[in-house]
Amino acid sequence: MKEFSRGKCIYKNLFESEQSIKDWYAEGEVDIKLNEGELVLKNKLDAELCGDSAHFVFWCPKDFEDRIIIEWEFQPLSDHGLCMIFFSAKGKNGEDIFSDTLPKRHGIYPEYHSGAINALHLSYYRRKYISERKFNTCNLRKSCGFNLVKLQADPIPSLPNVIEPYHMRLVKYDEFVQFYIDDLLVLSWEDDGKSFGDILRGGKIGFRQMAPMKATYSNLYVYEAKVME
């Protein structure tokens, strides 16, 4: 298996002030707070009343090239809900995902997996449904299409046993995707560029939550990725 190391830091966000997220873009109704270097996200709408409309995505405005390592700290604050990161997100024809030529999105999942964009989506804290809470997994999907390309066990425990943030590390390098939690390799996948369409390269990243999830994010860094010899 190939291994990758950090190169130059190309993006950093310590979430220290409102200025740090002024250009970030929310799709769906999201309650956003900053608390001493932590970005705290939860849904504004009641999941029981609003269903899928209560979920949201919070996008980083920067476009990234391929061959990157994304690192952040994550701590769940509720035991029900779901957390996911979108990456390599572009329109199907290579458009910026915020292009006026693409349909508006509102945080509802089919808009992302079977709509007008291509993306990779990694769900790493899946506690929305009883079936997910009794058997925890990390799922990697590739769109366009609801394509589950990799499923692995999730090491994050139930909420009473969470005592501090977890360090998340996501590598996207050409056909390779690798995901680590606290330096433990949780998931690795190699895209053949055929089974589920062309290899996705470059684009935006965004955090998605499904209500009633509440979670914190901090110390977001994106690095150029280098192959370790």
Per-residue pLDDT at 146: 94
The contacts of residue 25 (CB under 8 Å, 6+ apart) are 58, 59, 61, 98
- Torsion from C-alpha of 120, 99, 11, 82, nearest 10 degrees: -40
Average pLDDT over residues 51-73: 96
Average pLDDT over residues 71-95: 97
- Check pLDDT > 90 for residue 9: yes
Q: Is CATH 2.40.10.410 the right assignment for the domain spanning 4-96+106-227?
A: no
- Higher pLDDT, residue 151 or 132: 151
Per-residue pLDDT at 229: 78
Per-residue pLDDT at 1: 84
Over the stretch 34-58, which tens digit does the pLDDT of each residue have? 999 999 999 999 988 898 899 999 9
Per-residue pLDDT at 192: 97
From residue 165, alpha-carbon distances to 75, 162, 182 in Å are: 4, 8, 9
The answer to whether residues 91 and 100 touch, using CB atoms and an 8 Å cutoff, is: no
Residue whose structure tokens are 């449904």? 129
With residues binned 3-state (H G I as helix, E B as strand, rest as coil), the percentages for the chain, rounded to 5, are 10, 50, 40
The contacts of residue 75 (CB under 8 Å, 6+ apart) are 162, 164, 165, 166, 215, 216
Per-residue pLDDT at 171: 98
Buried b (16+ CB within 10 A) or exposed e, 57-87: bbbbeeebeebbbbbbbbbbeeebbbbbbbb
What residues form DSSP beta bridges with 152? 138
Average pLDDT over residues 110-136: 94
Per-residue pLDDT at 6: 97
User: What is the pTM for the complete model shown?
Assistant: 0.96
